[in-house]
Amino acid sequence: MDALLLSRIQFAANISFHILFPTITIALGWLLLWFRLRFNRTGDQAYMDAYFFWVKVFALSFAMGVVSGITMSFQFGTNWPGFMERVGNIAGPLLAYEVLTAFFLEAVFLGIMLFGSRRVSARVHTLATFLVAFGTTMSAFWILVLNSWMHTPQGFEMRDGVAHATDWFAIVFNPSMPYRLVHVLLASGLTVAFLVAGLSALRWLAGDRAKGTFLALRTGLTMGAVLIPLQILAGDLHGLNTLEHQPQKVAAMEGNWETGPRVPLLLFAIPDEEARENRFELGIPGGASLILKHDIDGVVPGLNDFVAEDGTVLHPPVKPLFFAFRIMVGVGFAMLFISWIGAWMIWRRGDINRPMAYVLVPMALSGWVATLAGWYTTEIGRQPWLVDGVLKTSDAVAALPATSVGITLVAYLLVYAGLITAYLSVIIALALKAAKTPHEAPPGINTAGINPDPAMVLGLEGNGRG
Partner 1 sequence: MAEFQWSEWLPYIFAALMGIAILVYVILDGFDLGIGILSPLADDTQKDRMVSAIGPFWDANETWLVLAVGLLLVAFPVAHGVILTTLYFPVAVLLIGLILRGVAFEFRAKVSLDAKPSWNRMFFIGSLMSALAQGYMLGLYVLGLDTSWPAVGFAALVAVCLAAAYAAIGAAWLIHKTEGTLQVRAVKWLRASLGLVALGMAAISLATPLASTRIWDRWLGFPESLILAPLPILTVALFVWLWRLSGRMPLEGDRLNLAPFAALAGIFALGFAGLAWSFYPYVVPGQITIAEAASATESLAIILVGTLFVLPVITGYSIWAYRIFGGKAVDLRYD
Kindly identify the residues of this chain, within the stretch 48-107, that bind partner 1 according to CB under 8 A.
48, 52, 55-56, 59-60, 62-64, 66-71, 73-74, 76-78, 81-82, 84-85, 88-93, 95-97, 99-101, 103-105, 107
- Least distance to partner 1, CB of residue 128, Å: 9
In the list 5, 115, 123, 244, the residue contacting partner 1 (rule: CB under 8 A) is 115
- Least distance to partner 1, CB of residue 397, Å: 10
Among positions 367-406, residues that touch partner 1 (CB under 8 A) are 398-400, 404
Among positions 181-220, residues that touch partner 1 (CB under 8 A) are none
Among positions 154-183, residues that touch partner 1 (CB under 8 A) are 162, 164-165, 168
- Least distance to partner 1, CB of residue 376, Å: 23
Count of residues of this chain found to bind partner 1 when the rule CB under 8 A is applied: 72
In the list 1, 282, 429, 458, the residue contacting partner 1 (rule: CB under 8 A) is 429
Among positions 220-239, residues that touch partner 1 (CB under 8 A) are none
Q: Which is nearer to partner 1, 64 or 184 (CB)?
A: 64
Q: Which is nearer to partner 1, 110 or 187 (CB)?
A: 110
Q: Under a CB-based contact definition with an 8 Å cutoff, are residues 332 and 373 in contact?
A: no
In the list 37, 413, 415, 450, the residue contacting partner 1 (rule: CB under 8 A) is 415
- Least distance to partner 1, CB of residue 425, Å: 9
- Least distance to partner 1, CB of residue 80, Å: 9
Q: Which of 413, 404, 457, 387 is nearest to 148 (CA)?
A: 387
- Least distance to partner 1, CB of residue 415, Å: 6
